[in-house]
Homo-oligomer: A and B are copies of this chain.
């Protein structure tokens, strides 16, 4: 079976969030075009994305909210709760930790690392901070495969290398430098500077 594209995976995460919200509001079923409008996608995309998770709707009642959310969860999530390692407990790192705290119990930042010894051996937003020396041990002992990089640009490449050596197979990179990683490691680069410059450019041209 071929893996769905990363765009499909990203959209599935969005659908699930919307479905959980709809469920809380008491909505039982949705049509592809409703989900599409809420998610900023097209009905075609929604139907194809949902096909990819193997869930089937009804041509009269559309998709059952609870069952579809469940199916997406089974597709996206690991069977067991998965930990995430974050490196770089600066302003951005702490904000990311706060952002995810309690949001997704099955995918939580479970270990943070910093080379600054003042930030270490504390619990920040429910997450324990370790010195860099313990990175290899903690990450490999806990079988953590997902990392978040919030270190300064100059350190990013070296830290990524350490993470990968410890067993990390996927990284969200917030450092303002492109990362050079071996194949077999998935990197999502969240480039805040490029995003802001892009938006400023198109805003100046009169928007999208």
Contact = CB atoms under 8 A, between A and B. Distances in A.
Interface of A: 3, 6, 9-10, 13-14, 17, 38-40, 76, 78, 82, 84, 91-92, 94-96, 98-100, 103-104, 107, 145-146, 148, 168-172, 176, 178-180, 183-208
B95 A91 contact: yes
Given A169-B207, A184-B206, A78 B200 contact: yes
Given A194-B13, A195-B188, A169 B206 contact: yes
Nearest to A170: B203
Given A145-B204, A208-B184, A107 B197 contact: yes
A193 B145 contact: no
Given A91-B98, A186-B207, A204-B82, A199 B178 contact: no
A204 B169 CA distance: 7
Nearest to A164: B207
A146 B99 contact: no
A200 B84 CA distance: 8
Nearest to A192: B99
B95 A169 contact: no
Contacts of A76: 197, 201
Contact of A203 (B99, B145, B192, B206): B145
A190 B190 contact: yes
A28 to B, nearest CB: 22
A78 B201 CA distance: 8
Contacts of A103: 193
